[in-house]
Amino acid sequence: MRVLFATSEVFPLIKTGGLADVSGSLPTALQNLGVDIRILVPGYPAVLNQLDDLTHVAMLKNLPVIENAELLMGTILDNDINVLVIKATGLYEREGGPYVDANGQEWLDNPVRFGILSKVAAILSGPHSPIADWQPNIVHCNDWQTGLAPAYMKLVEHSKAKSIISLHNMAFQGCYAPSWLPTLALPSTHFTLEGFEYHGQLSFLKAGIFYADTITTVSPSYAKEIQTPAFGFGLEGLLSKRGNELKGILNGIETDEWNPEFDPHLIKTYSATKLAGKKQVKAALQERLGLHVDANAPLLGVVSRLTHQKGLDMLVPILQQLVNAGCQFALLGSGESSLEHAFRHLAVNNPGKVSVTIGYNEPLSHQIMAGCDMFLMPSRFEPCGLNQLYGLAYGTPPIVNATGGLADSVVDTNIITFKNKTANGFVMSEASSASLLSCIKQALNVFNNDAKAWQQIQKNGMLQNLSWDKSALEYLAEYEKLLGKEFKIKDSLKLAR
Ligand code: ADP
Ligand code: GLC
């Protein structure tokens, strides 16, 4: 079983969000099951600079717009995984992010940048692949950036490989003017409802959903939600048509990277059986962020993109009240300027009590996850969410809205769930400020008045198996279905099945 895992970001090379975390850990989990897997990514400067063993693999010819590009291969040393890199200087080697420039504006040539990523995935799986000794029989696509791959595979490259697309977020679809069709060498006969046309535009994501042989998304609840108008972002009809082939598989976490027992970003490590170190981490975080060092003050944390999806606007009107009640608050994130401004304003008005760091900071994200007492994630929709899983692993009970992967991973604390030791966080009854406030109050009630019960909730989360073990097997089962045959996994792993 040979799998080409095509993605626009992969940790630790390049990351804007959870897709990078998944791309950095799921392929390794599959490789550990014996799958022969390679990742395909664009050659952004960060990718080229960090893979120091890059070697030439082949020249890619007849690409749209740029004609030729070089295909290189390197390994991510930590997880020993092969990464194929498309080196196309004019397309990918520029300052800024993978999707936007330094001012946050989308790169105007994104259709070409990700059209070529998709095209290369299709070429490598087809009869004209320049790699003779490694042909994937499965191309695993992720989100709109690789959505054209299944279309190119079927309509242009006549690839015999099977394709699967994983949907990490329906809010981003890659919709562009139809004038891009000839540029991308896509057959205009398929610019129809039964093809990649979406309300008069070329939709990369729709192409992926329409042409892929099977579809997954990153939690069972989100798989159901996206078949409804409230969450499908216009593609709910197509998704429910393909409902039988749409499977929700909850993300796992990279337990080498996100583990309070070994985390190099923490001044003190800790575990479910030795929780004491968490207190020192909290004190160090308070000091680092200029908060009053106070073990008793409940410290609420957020690490997030600041967008409508994440629902943090619901926190703004209630935060002062929480601070007045003795809470501290630490936020790390960036995004919509009105939200950045609102949180900064709260920080200025509450020195020593509210800390707001606008930007992206990997070590600080670990320290907030570990040093806070509770983690807030009131998302309006959340395909899976990784931060609540990190919160569980770090003994920082998540407070979440009941949607998507949050609903599938966080068990609200009540008499029954506390008794049967499944309670691991607090779940809002609806997406509103009032519900968020009442949910936080319930958490505070336990935290302030019953240390033993709080510890039990922490431990319930910390002792869960949040690794990729189970989910990787579910992906393997999808691959097996596509190929119509069972794969021989290592004997030692058979029990897990
Ligand atoms: P999404 O992908 O929708 O943003 P996830 O919860 O799946 O949400 O994943 C977000 C990932 O990005 C997590 O690993 C989180 O720690 C990280 N992250 C988000 N914002 C920041 C930031 N400002 N600094 C560091 N890491 C961040
Ligand atoms: C997206 C989603 C997030 C998910 C991540 C990885 O960014 O917003 O919920 O965890 O993809 O699948």
| pLDDT value of position 103 | 86
Does residue 50's CB lie within 6 angstroms of at least one atom of ligand 1? no
Does residue 332's CB lie within 6 angstroms of at least one atom of ligand 1? yes
Centroid of ligand 1 to alpha carbon of 142 (angstroms) = 17
CB 2 within 8 A of CB 36: yes
Q: Which two tokens stand for residue 210?
A: 């329409």
Centroid of ligand 1 to alpha carbon of 11 (angstroms) = 11
Mean pLDDT of 295-300: 98
- Within 13 Å of residue 389, how many CA atoms lie on the same side as its CB? 25
Q: Is the pLDDT of residue 470 over 60?
A: yes
Q: Give tens-digit pLDDT for 364-391.
A: 999 999 999 999 999 999 999 999 999 9
Which of the two residues, 486 and 313, has the higher pLDDT score?
313
Does residue 3's CB lie within 6 angstroms of at least one atom of ligand 1? no
What distance lies between CA 333 and its chain's CA centroid?
15
Q: How confident is the model at residue 491 (pLDDT cuts 50, 70, 90)?
A: low
Q: How confident is the model at residue 104 (pLDDT cuts 50, 70, 90)?
A: confident
Mutate to test the pocket of ligand 2, among 9, 170, 384 (most ligand atoms within 8 A of CB): 384
CB 212 within 8 A of CB 141: yes
Ligand 1 atom nearest 359 alpha carbon: 23
Centroid of ligand 2 to alpha carbon of 386 (angstroms) = 7
CB 134 within 8 A of CB 38: yes
Ligand 2 atom nearest 218 alpha carbon: 12
Burial (CB count within 10 angstroms: exposed 0-12, middle 13-18, buried 19+), residue 163: buried
| pLDDT value of position 80 | 84
Q: Is the pLDDT of residue 309 over 70?
A: yes
Ligand 1 atom nearest 15 alpha carbon: 12
Mean pLDDT of 2-13: 97
Q: Give tens-digit pLDDT for 163-212.
A: 999 999 999 999 999 999 999 999 999 999 999 999 999 999 999 999 99
Does residue 171's CB lie within 6 angstroms of at least one atom of ligand 2? no
Among protein residues, the one with the nearest Cα to ligand 1's atom 4 is: 17
| pLDDT value of position 76 | 86
List CB contacts of 156: < 8 A, sequence separation 6 or more.
122, 185, 186, 187
Look at residues 28, 54, 32 and name the one whose alpha carbon lies nearest to residue 43.
Answer: 54
Ligand 1 atom nearest 333 alpha carbon: 23
| Ligand with smallest separation from the Cα of 340 | 1
| Ligand with smallest separation from the Cα of 334 | 1
Ligand 2 atom nearest 404 alpha carbon: 9
| pLDDT value of position 400 | 98
Mutate to test the pocket of ligand 2, among 9, 169, 309 (most ligand atoms within 8 A of CB): 169
| pLDDT value of position 496 | 55
Q: How confident is the model at residue 308 (pLDDT cuts 50, 70, 90)?
A: very high
Q: Where along the chain do its domains lie?
A: 2-252+468-493, 276-462
> Is residue 240 classed as helix, strand or coil in its secondary structure?
helix
Q: Is the pLDDT of residue 492 over 70?
A: no
| pLDDT value of position 321 | 98
Does residue 168's CB lie within 6 angstroms of at least one atom of ligand 2? yes
Q: How confident is the model at residue 494 (pLDDT cuts 50, 70, 90)?
A: low
| Ligand with smallest separation from the Cα of 382 | 2
Residues above pLDDT 70, as percent of the chain: 98
Mean pLDDT of 389-408: 98
| pLDDT value of position 356 | 98
Q: Is the pLDDT of residue 266 over 60?
A: yes
- Helix H segments across 76-109? 89-92
Q: Is the pLDDT of residue 495 over 60?
A: no
Does residue 385's CB lie within 6 angstroms of at least one atom of ligand 2? yes
Q: Give tens-digit pLDDT for 325-354.
A: 999 999 999 999 999 999 999 999 999 999
Mutate to test the pocket of ligand 1, among 305, 358, 406 (most ligand atoms within 8 A of CB): 305
Domains 2-252+468-493 and 276-462 share a fold: yes
Centroid of ligand 1 to alpha carbon of 95 (angstroms) = 21
Average pLDDT, the chain: 96
Domain 276-462 sits in CATH 3.30.9.10: no
Q: How many CB atoms lie within 10 A of CB 101?
A: 13
| pLDDT value of position 193 | 96
Give the least confident one: 77-81, 363-367, 394-398, 438-442: 77-81
Mean pLDDT of 141-161: 98
CB 72 within 8 A of CB 60: no
Burial (CB count within 10 angstroms: exposed 0-12, middle 13-18, buried 19+), residue 67: exposed
Mutate to test the pocket of ligand 1, among 386, 392, 409 (most ligand atoms within 8 A of CB): 386
- Its CATH architecture, for the domain 2-252+468-493, is 3-Layer(aba) Sandwich (3.40)
Mean pLDDT of 409-430: 98
Q: How many CB atoms lie within 10 A of CB 297?
A: 18
Does residue 174's CB lie within 6 angstroms of at least one atom of ligand 1? no
Q: How confident is the model at residue 493 (pLDDT cuts 50, 70, 90)?
A: low
Q: Give tens-digit pLDDT for 32-90.
A: 999 999 999 999 999 999 997 999 999 999 899 998 999 999 998 777 899 999 999 99
Mean pLDDT of 145-150: 98
Q: Is the pLDDT of residue 323 over 70?
A: yes
Q: Per this entry, what is the length of the chain?
A: 497
Burial (CB count within 10 angstroms: exposed 0-12, middle 13-18, buried 19+), residue 338: exposed
Q: Detail the DSSP E strand segments found in 9-104.
A: 36-42, 55-63, 67-76, 81-87
Ligand 1 atom nearest 169 alpha carbon: 3
Give counts: helices (H), strands (E), the chain: 19, 18
